Amino acid sequence: MARQRLKGSERTPLPGARAIGKADPNERMEVSVLLRHQAVDALHQRVAETASRAKPHLSREDFARQFGAAPADIAEVRKFADAHGLAIVEADASRRTIVLSGTVAQFNAAFGVELQQYEHPNGSYRGREGAIQLPEELEGIVEAVLGLDNRPQAMPHFRHQLPRGNVLRQPASAAPTAFTPPSLAALYDFPKGSIGKGECIGIIELGGGYRPADLATYFSALKIPMPTVTAVSVDHGRNHPTGDPNGPDGEVMLDVEVAGAVAPGARIAVYFTPNTDAGFLDAITTAIHDRVNKPSVISISWGGPESSWTPQAMQAMDQAFQAAAAMGITVCVASGDDGSSDGVGDGHDHVDFPASSPYALACGGTSLRASATGIASETVWNDGAQGGAGGGGVSTFFALPAWQGGLKVTKASGTTALAKRGVPDVSGDADPETGYDVRVDGSNTVIGGTSAVAPLWAGLIACINAAKGSAVGYINPLLYKNPQALHDIKAGNNGDYVAAAGWDACTGLGSPDGAKLLAAL
């Protein structure tokens, strides 16, 4: 049978990983197959028209009918699955996703791969090297095959405030402090009188869980009604608190508590999924196309350097965010906590994905100090070489969006024209030393990181949507036309990049002025 290489599917082992033998041929697994859009050129046109407000947002039903997977394409994949003894667990035309189930041996034969078991200091995983091979009849129909490799794909972007005894990350100028989310909402002048009533905030989680008792205690202490929180299972993921506040529970509770405290009238749907490329994408597409909960804004606080992703996975997720744009869904994504290197130790600058997608609202980090009358100072979050810093820089994968045309990027060595997608777009308080009061696994603690900024912005968008009576959706083009609606951050650096007047690769356009944003949007 003639086969074609699936473009962008090449995998290499994780740095430090060692192959220890073939994967068990009898191991059962599931794989997500992503199909092409119907009328993809028309979709790109519709997204542009929606972004410019020339046409209204599509409903989820209309999007599925016009741009979902074609029945004929689904039928071709069904024939392929039958030929290889693979079972179809799910076939969702709106998500363009078919989930296949079978053994390692069956998937090896079906996709021309040889799955191996790898040993790594952070845990073993099933993986492969090289490209996926497709039969000729699926060429052009299948755009991605995810889940053959089950390595952890992303990490959460949160950091705990360290005790004063640890001298590595203490600012010399000020003692640590903390804010409740409502106090930050007040400092950022979130729209008064709007609590996000009638909206739904979708939150993507790749592990951990929340305890309803903790949420009840937290919101009671804030004297805020506890929002309705619903757990949604994707790819067998579930709400599963580990009891470790330093693990993914910290991420989950931070996200829910920040979003819920600044938009307590909004419902919150938390999509739990395994930490793999397939799980991450499936959770995002499930949230975007969810006709039950219908989130109007999605918060994502997980990610990894662009260099850790396959091109097929990045393209698939970017397409999901395009679908969100067409349907009026805003996607807020943390830009990372490791400064201009994004934690990659090769001496080069890197940006975090999925924040680097042009259809994501990339959320960077600041360090904020308050006075009795408001914000006293706000600079780039950077704890120095031993701590964290807001992620930001220039994508090596995504082209320069039209709305970032003409911008400059500033380093200590000088200023040059921005040539590709610049990250972040916006920012907010992320410094753990000026962090967020939250409750995790039965204890009160202070957490920072850009993980807090994504749900902060998601809550703000929910409040703006409720105040307007309609979803603002894909707001990036409008924000760049209205920079006066943000607090421009002009001091600090995140490593190689330096803050400057206007947009910069540390804090984007700046932190929010909620009332001005409501007026501008």
Active-site amino acid positions: 251, 255, 451
| 225: DSSP letter | P
- Strand 177-179 to strand 434-440: parallel, antiparallel, or no bridges (unpaired)? parallel
Q: What is the 3-state secondary structure (H, E, C) of 273-337?
A: CCCCHHHHHHHHHHHHCCCCCCCCEEEECEEEEHHHCCHHHHHHHHHHHHHHHHCCCEEEEECCC
Cβ(122)–Cβ(215) below 8 Å: no
Separation CA 108–CA 25 (nearest Å): 9
Separation CA 472–CA 517 (nearest Å): 11
Separation CA 263–CA 267 (nearest Å): 9
| 345: DSSP letter | T
Separation CA 26–CA 189 (nearest Å): 57
How far lies 478's CA from each of 196, 401, 402, 485, in Å?
21, 13, 12, 10
Residue 82 phi, psi (nearest 5): -60, -40
Name the token pair of 5. 């290489």
- Strand 267-272 to strand 229-233: parallel, antiparallel, or no bridges (unpaired)? parallel
* 81 closest CA partner among 151, 26, 126, 145: 145
What is the dihedral angle through the alpha carbons of 139, 145, 149, 153, rounded to the nearest 10 degrees?
Answer: 130
Separation CA 356–CA 85 (nearest Å): 38
**Tokens 């693990």 correspond to what residue?**
247
E strand or H helix at 395: strand 393-399
Q: Which residues, including other chains, have CB under 8 Å from residue 372's CB and lie 6 or more apart? A: none
Separation CA 55–CA 45 (nearest Å): 10
Neighbouring C-beta atoms of residue 165, cutoff 10 Å: 6
Cβ(445)–Cβ(421) below 8 Å: no
Separation CA 78–CA 142 (nearest Å): 12
Cβ(364)–Cβ(392) below 8 Å: yes
